[in-house]
Every structure is written in structure tokens, then in C-alpha cells.
Amino acid sequence: MLNNSSIIWLESATNKDVHLVGGKNASLGELMSELTQAGIRVPAGFAITANAYRDFVETNQLTAQIQSQISAWQQEKQSLEVTGKAIRRLFRRASFPDGLSHDICQAYQELNQRYGPSEMDVAVRSSATAEDLPDASFAGQQETFLNISGETELLEACRKCFASLFTNRAISYRKEKDFDQMAVALSIGVQKMVRSDLACAGVMFSIDTETGFPDAVLLTGAWGLGETVVQGSVTPDQFTIFKPLLQNDRLRPIIEKKKGTKAKKMIYATDGNKTTVATVDTSGKEKAAFVLNDDEILQLARWAVLIEAHYGCPMDMEWAKDGNTGEIFIVQARPETVQSQQSGSSIKTYKLKESGKVLSAGLSIGSAIAAGKVCRVLSSKDIDQVEVGSILVTEMTDPDWVPVMKKVAGIVTDYGGRTCHAAIVSRELGIPAVIGTGDASRILTSGQEVTLSCAEGDQGYIYEGLLDFESTDVDLSNIPQTRTQIMLNIASPAAAFDWWQLPASGIGLARMEFIINNLIKIHPMALIHYEDLKDREAWQTIRDMTQGYDDKCDYFVERLSQGIGKIAASQYPHPVIVRLSDFKTNEYADLIGGKDFEPEESNPMLGFRGAARYYSDRYRAGFLLECQALKKVREEMGFDNVIIMVPFCRSLKEADKVLKILADQGLERGKDGLQIYVMCEIPSNVFLADKFAERFDGFSIGSNDLTQLILGVDRDSAALADLFDEQDEAVKIAIRQVIEKAHAVGRKVGICGQGPSDYPEFAQFLVEAGIDSISLNPDSVVQVKRRVAEQEAQASD
């Protein structure tokens, strides 16, 4: 096997050889030598070394000519475009030294012999010696050539790779990162092609790319060759997997599955006698299907964990599935360069102070808000039109766009996913972006004033006009410990990962109805009785939304379990209290298909809600779907930190009925450590607290409803707003009473209403009363925790 100063087989390379084979090839070699025994597959290949590049430059006497061009650019005697073009022309006109071309062709023949056929298809990838460092991604700075076959094509691809060390974007990037233009060399990786043109490919991160949440694997994929995902020319499927539970082979902790449009795919094509690549439309069947099944998703996620553990840092990986063999391969692995570099000592939060008309929406990249005038540019040839501080709107970006991406306040694209070029560069530059809108470049016009918001979870929005917003720096250093548990109120799965750095002890309130409203959108009874729906418009909408589900109810169970799972993952192993659905009838009716199943009530706030629904013949079948989702979350996904909470439970008889149904569905209190809480929001819960404590493991005070029912004030009435007071003496007496009764029999009491977030003195009262936990809106956690620590210190003096 040929190994010399010009050629090194990948399995012989390690991370110590970056100076010789570049970051990309060194990483692949490390994977092959260290992790193939763990089952990770990497396509075989060889590296053409940096020594070979230097030999090529020296033999063709290119050094002085390159330096002359760079000097002219640095002295502003010529443009970057002229400089890059002139240098690349030097390479294309140069010849390979005889010894080098012989070594490359010999290595190619040896690779052919490993797999049998001659003229093997290979991927030819650039690997710069300054590439993939922890603080510099060099994403897409050099070229990759796919489906190269034969010695002539291989040598020509290598020549183009050498030239790509001086693409305009690479020259500009090295200047920005203060790298010596002449000190960087280029290695080339030549690998057997994985026939993903017949299957699928994509990108994987061992960290959440938006929030830096370290316990998630983010996986994206599309049909065909993986370049469409990297470039952002398609909106791929997206999967999120919770890493800590992957070590248990019995569990399947997939907490998010989002189907991308996957409108196009890149495949092999024939051009005369030459095989090239072409982009074609995907079929309807391909658009409707996920590119990976659950077993494949989990396999890749486990590989991500192994690779991250070996390298000791979060990783950015590319994968490909061979359509002939069904095997999955890792084709690249490099350090993640954005979230892993954050200090974690503070977080910056953004909040819109007014609402506006939504013009377009897509995936949010980052968590910031930006406002400005739209600059709509559809071709890289016109990027000189991009104005400083504008909101760049385009179909997709590639590395040629990087110089102007640094100038803008925000970026909006029609296509792409969280791992595409536009997303990666936006994160690195700290610029908010909304990716994969599908229509922004057709809807938005240059000069139009808009506000781009990435501060509302994983969905990003473009609003009409310049909306007012604020940003806040939250200092996470030196936060005191408290006896009182400080927990979070989380409204939706989309926001769960945003707050993982906060000093919280779990989630005191996760509202199931928010998940149903945001992720599912369909009334559960409309899914159960789908074929009999009278509302034909709802019938058609449900048909389209549940495409791919043979049983419509599976749509509800899967999406609800994933939503709960994502929230539970954000605070695992701390407790996460999930409140069973508590829509009012008018709110249920607003769900798709809901009007066929909900009565009209004059006072829904005091009507058919909470526990009363769960055992009623009118909703019990829908409640059983909620039970199935919770059972899946705890037993199949593995989130045994989930606690179930029953809302608006009016009587002991009602409590017994609900607990029996839960037990019948495999959610028996005490089994496998399952705890079941009850909301304390009705006077009967206070008066009979000792009896409710016999049936439940704890209480969570819903101060809004409790205040409403003690004072007889409609919480939604503007006319009575001055009478609605959670700090009224009657409310405080009730709170003290339930805490005393619960503690007398060893039950915990928390509070999850709005009061502690809004009123510091109310939080102080709760500490004095002996509350066990206070669940807060995330933006008030640090402030209230410091205040609680002060109060606890005073009480102990």
C-alpha cells in the first residue's frame, strides 16, 4: 500500500497530522483508526498531502506570482474578484509533477482493487491545513467534486481543488481570521463515493445548534447527494434526539421529527460519455416520507455520541446512506465552531414589545431580533447591491455570499434547514436568520420595512414594519442557592431548549394544551371520528396534515409525545410537571374539527373543563390518547422525570375517577416511580387538602384561578381588573392553609401562577409561608431567585 510524502491512506492518518493532510482528512483518519471497531463506517480513501501541494506550487513557480496578486489586493490596487480569478488561473494552467501524478494514479488504482471494479467513482474533497479548528469553521471555503471517475478526471479535480485554496471567499476569510495567506496549504481527500444519490444524505451536530443545549443531537437529511442539505437548496427533514438516554438500547428518545419539503434531490446524470451530477424534482412519495426510519435515526445519534466522546468536544458531521447496500457512512467530522465557543456566563434575551402582521415564517437561527429595510437579491452576481444594516432576502446562500452576510442585520432565505450554509454562517456571525420560508423572496420587496424575530422559539417570523423590541443581558454568574426550588413555566416545546442554562430545578408547569395547539392543531375527537366529520373542510385539512399516518390517532400520540419529550429533555433529570389538557370548550372548538364536538357554554371558564372531561363519554376517548402519549414519553422514550398533574379537579369523587382511568392506561401512581399531582385552584382543593393529599403526591397552586374563585372576579374582565389581586388576604389565607395541610402529611406544594413573576413581595410571602417550589416565567428566574435567597437568609437570622 502506497504511503509516502505525497500520499497517505486515510486509515494511517490521525488528528496529529493536520499539518500534513488538513483538518478534514485528519479527522476522517482518526475516525477510521479509532472508531470503526465501535461500528462507525467511514468510506475508504487516501489523502494527497500538503507536501504534494507545495511540490505542485514550487514546480510550477507559483509562489511569487501568488504573492504578487495578494499584495496588489492588500494595497487596494485591484479587487478581490480580480485577485482570486488570476490566482486560480495560475493553478489551472499548471502541470502536475510527473512523480506526483504517478503517485495519485497508483493510489487510485489501489483503491479500485479494494472494491473490485476499475474506474471507481470517488469524491474529491479539499482539506486545508488551517481548516476545522475549534474557533474557525472555514465552512465551504474550498471545493468538493463528486462522482469523479478515471485518472484523467481525478487529476483535473485535484488541480481544481488546489486552485480552490484561493477562492474569493477563502482569501477574504483568511484575512478576517488573520491567517497568513501563504502559510496555509491544501490537502485533498479521495474517497469511494457512497451511492447516496440512490438514497439520502445529510448533516448531524452533537449539540443543539441554536441554543447550545449540549444533550441533543440535531440530525438533518434529504434525498440524494448531501450537497443539497449543505448548500441549503432544499428544506430537509429534521430530527432531534436526547443523548443521555441513548446508552439504553431499549429506549427510543427521539424528541422531534419535522418533515421537510425536500423538493429537489441531487443525483448522477449522464452527459455524453461522462457521468456528472444533476438536480431533479423529488416525487410526491419522497416528499411525503421521512428519509430515515427510527432505527437509522438512533444509529446515527449513537455514532454522534461516540464521535463527540472521542474528540472531547461538540462535533459537526456529514453522513450518507448507500442506496445499493442500505449502509450508512460518516463522510466528514469536524469540531462545531459556534455554540461550543460560548462562555455560558450570561445569556442575551430579546423580546418584542408590540405585535404586527406576519409576512412570512421559517426556522429561526439564533434568538435575536433585527429590524430594517429589505434588500432582495436573488443572485450572487448582484451582491454588490446589498446595503449595510439591511435585511437580506434571497433564495439560498453559498460561500460567495459571506462577505456581504457580514454587512447585514438579518438574513431570510426561501430554502434550507438548520444545518445549511446560511444557517451555519449566520450563527458564526451572530446574525439572526429565518431559513426555509418557502416564499419570502416572492412576498418581500426591496425597501420594505420589516422586523425579523428569532426570539419566539424554533419558528422565526418576518413582521411588517419596524416593531419595537428590547434586549436584556442576564448574568448567570454568582447566583445563590435556595432552599425553595425555583422552577420554570414552559409554554411550548419550541422554547424549551432556550432556557437550559438558567439555574432552575426543573419545570413546574408544562401545559399540554399549548403543545396540542401549537404542534398538533387538530381536535383529538376529530381524529378518532375522522371518517364521520361533518365539517368537510376540516376533513380535507386533517387528511393533508396526517399524510403518512395509517391511523390518524397516531399523529396525535406521536406529536404530543415528542412535544412533551422535548420539554422533559430540557431539564432532565430534574422533575418536569406536565399538566393534562385544560382547554375550555370555546378553545377546544377552535382546534381543527373541534366545532363538531364542543358544546356552546355561556361561561366556559366554569364549564366543561379539566378533570370533568377525562371521564366523560364526550371526551374520554380523546383523553386516552393523552394517556398513550404520556406512557410513550415515560416508558419508550425514557423520561421518567415526567410528573402528571390533574387540573381543575372539583371533588374527591372526580379525583378517584381520573386516577382509575390513568391506572387502567398503565399510568398508575407509584408504578415505576410515577408521581401524580393535582392543581390547587378551586376552594374545595383548599378545604379538603388533607383528603386530596391522600390521593396525590403533591399540589401546584394555580393562583390565577384560585384568586378568581375566592374573590368571585372574572380573571379576563377588564372592568374588574383592579379587583383581581393574588395578594388579597383571603387568597393568602387559602395558600397558607393548603401548605400547612399538605406538609402535615408529607406532601409538597408548589405554585405556578403569574404572581411570583410579577410581584416580588408575593414571592417573599410564599417563602415565608413555606412553599416548596416556585415556578416562574423564564425571564424572571434569576431576579426572583436572588430575592428568594435574600428572604431565606433573613428568615434564618
Render pLDDT for 317-343 as a digit per residue (tens, 0 to 9): 999 999 999 999 999 888 887 877 776
C-alpha distances in Å from residue 399, one per residue of 164, 396, 406, 411, 420: 12, 11, 12, 14, 11
- By the 10 Å C-beta count (0-12 exposed, 13-18 middle, 19+ buried), 440 is classed as buried
The gap from C-alpha 524 to its chain's centroid, in whole angstroms, comes to: 27
In DSSP terms, 334 is beta-bridged to: 316
Confirm if 439 and 457 have CB atoms less than 8 A apart. no
Written as one string, the DSSP assignment of 637-668 is I--TTEEEEE-S---HHHHHHHHHHHHHTT--
Give the integer Cα–Cα distance in Å for 142 and 127.
8
C-alpha cell at 410: 438579518
Angle between helices 620-631 and 552-571 (to 10 degrees): 50
Comparing 50 with 184, the larger pLDDT belongs to: 50
Confidence of residue 68 (pLDDT cuts 50, 70, 90): very high
Look at residue 137 in the predicted model and tell me its pLDDT.
43
- Hunting for cell 393548603 — which residue is that? 738
Give the integer Cα–Cα distance in Å for 758 and 775.
12
Mean predicted confidence (pLDDT) in 258-282: 86
Give the integer Cα–Cα distance in Å for 556 and 523.
9
pLDDT digits (tens, 9 = 90+) for 6-37: 999 999 998 889 889 988 899 899 999 889 99
Helix (H, G, I), strand (E, B) or coil at 124: strand
Closest by CA position to 744, among listed 790, 781, 677, 694: 694
Give the integer Cα–Cα distance in Å for 75 and 69.
10
Give the integer Cα–Cα distance in Å for 141 and 208.
23
Helix (H, G, I), strand (E, B) or coil at 776: strand
C-alpha distances in Å from residue 745, one per residue of 680, 693, 732, 766: 16, 7, 21, 19
Look at residue 701 in the predicted model and tell me its pLDDT.
96
Report CA Rg, the chain.
30
Look at residue 611 in the predicted model and tell me its pLDDT.
98
Q: Of all residues in the chain, what percent are helix, strand and coil, respectively (each to 5)? A: 45, 20, 35
Closest by CA position to 596, among listed 527, 515, 513: 527
C-alpha distances in Å from residue 262, one per residue of 223, 226, 319, 504, 555: 7, 12, 17, 39, 21
Confidence of residue 135 (pLDDT cuts 50, 70, 90): very low
Look at residue 347 in the predicted model and tell me its pLDDT.
83
Give the integer Cα–Cα distance in Å for 785 and 765.
14
Is the pLDDT confidence value at 140 over 70?
no
C-alpha cell at 241: 434526539
Residue 469 dihedral angles phi and psi, to the nearest 5°: -145, 165
Look at residue 272 in the predicted model and tell me its pLDDT.
66
Is the pLDDT confidence value at 182 over 70?
yes
Is the pLDDT confidence value at 132 over 60?
no
Confirm if 399 and 169 have CB atoms less than 8 A apart. yes
What residue type is 517 in one-letter code? N
- Hunting for cell 433573613 — which residue is that? 794
Look at residue 546 in the predicted model and tell me its pLDDT.
94
Look at residue 753 in the predicted model and tell me its pLDDT.
66
In this structure, is the dihedral angle defined by the CA atoms of residues 586, 592, 596 and 597, taken in order, positive or negative? negative
Confirm if 320 and 329 have CB atoms less than 8 A apart. yes
Closest by CA position to 578, among listed 675, 484, 670: 675
pLDDT digits (tens, 9 = 90+) for 508-550: 999 999 999 989 999 999 999 999 999 999 999 999 999 889 9
Close Cβ partners of 135 (under 8 Å, ≥ 6 residues apart)? 337, 341
Confirm if 415 and 181 have CB atoms less than 8 A apart. no
What residue type is 503 in one-letter code? P
> Which of 158, 553, 680, 752 is the catalytic position?
752
Give the integer Cα–Cα distance in Å for 750 and 748.
7
Comparing 551 with 424, the larger pLDDT belongs to: 551
> Which of 158, 161, 421, 649 is the catalytic position?
421
Is the pLDDT confidence value at 130 over 70?
no
In percent, the amount of the chain with pLDDT more than 70 equals 96
Secondary structure in 3-state letters for 498-566: HHCCCCCCCEEEEEHHHHHHHHHCECHHHHHCHHHCCCHHHHHHHHHHCCCCCCHHHHHHHHHHHHHHH
Mean predicted confidence (pLDDT) in 454-474: 92
Confidence of residue 136 (pLDDT cuts 50, 70, 90): very low
Please provide the average confidence, as pLDDT, over all residues in the chain: 91
End-to-end CA distance of the chain: 77
Q: Mind listing the domains of the chain with CATH numbers?
A: 7-193 (3.30.1490.20), 197-335 (3.30.470.20), 362-474 (3.50.30.10), 478-795 (3.20.20.60)
Residue 783 dihedral angles phi and psi, to the nearest 5°: -60, -50
DSSP element (H, E) containing 27 = helix 18-35
Stretch among 261-270, 369-378, 578-587 having the lowest mean pLDDT: 261-270
Mean predicted confidence (pLDDT) in 602-622: 95
Strand boundaries in 64-215, DSSP class E:
121-128, 144-149, 186-192, 200-205
Stretch among 152-156, 291-295, 411-415, 782-786 having the lowest mean pLDDT: 782-786
Give the integer Cα–Cα distance in Å for 493 and 561.
11
Confidence of residue 251 (pLDDT cuts 50, 70, 90): very high
Closest by CA position to 32, among listed 240, 220, 192: 192
Does the annotation count 421 as an active-site position? Answer: yes
Look at residue 383 in the predicted model and tell me its pLDDT.
84
C-alpha cell at 324: 445499493
Mean predicted confidence (pLDDT) in 559-578: 97
Angle at alpha carbon of residue 176, lines to 170 and 181, rounded to 5°? 55
Give the integer Cα–Cα distance in Å for 399 and 386.
15
Confirm if 351 and 779 have CB atoms less than 8 A apart. yes
Look at residue 138 in the predicted model and tell me its pLDDT.
43
Does the annotation count 553 as an active-site position? Answer: no
Is the pLDDT confidence value at 87 over 70?
yes
C-alpha distances in Å from residue 550, one per residue of 238, 288, 409, 630, 757: 22, 13, 45, 21, 44
Stretch among 247-261, 692-706, 767-781 having the lowest mean pLDDT: 767-781
C-alpha cell at 301: 445519534
DSSP 456: S
Residues belonging to the chain: 797
Confirm if 191 and 331 have CB atoms less than 8 A apart. yes
Look at residue 344 in the predicted model and tell me its pLDDT.
67
Give the integer Cα–Cα distance in Å for 460 and 369.
10
Confirm if 782 and 488 have CB atoms less than 8 A apart. no
C-alpha distances in Å from residue 513, one per residue of 626, 674, 683, 796: 10, 21, 23, 40
The gap from C-alpha 781 to its chain's centroid, in whole angstroms, comes to: 23
Closest by CA position to 307, among listed 331, 288, 284: 331
Cis geometry, peptide bond prior to residue 134 (ω within 30 degrees of 0): no
Look at residue 616 in the predicted model and tell me its pLDDT.
97
The gap from C-alpha 476 to its chain's centroid, in whole angstroms, comes to: 23
665-669: list long-range contacts, CB under 8 Å, 24+ apart. Answer: 665/624, 665/627, 665/628, 665/631, 666/627, 666/631, 666/635, 667/627, 667/630, 667/631, 667/634, 669/696, 669/697
Is the pLDDT confidence value at 169 over 50?
yes
Confirm if 63 and 205 have CB atoms less than 8 A apart. no
Mean predicted confidence (pLDDT) in 151-164: 94
Comparing 1 with 422, the larger pLDDT belongs to: 422
pTM: 0.88
Look at residue 633 in the predicted model and tell me its pLDDT.
98
Confidence of residue 114 (pLDDT cuts 50, 70, 90): confident
Look at residue 714 in the predicted model and tell me its pLDDT.
86
Give the integer Cα–Cα distance in Å for 110 and 292.
33
pLDDT digits (tens, 9 = 90+) for 665-703: 999 999 999 999 999 999 999 999 999 999 999 999 999
Give the CA dihedral 70, 73, 77, 81, nearest 10 degrees: 110
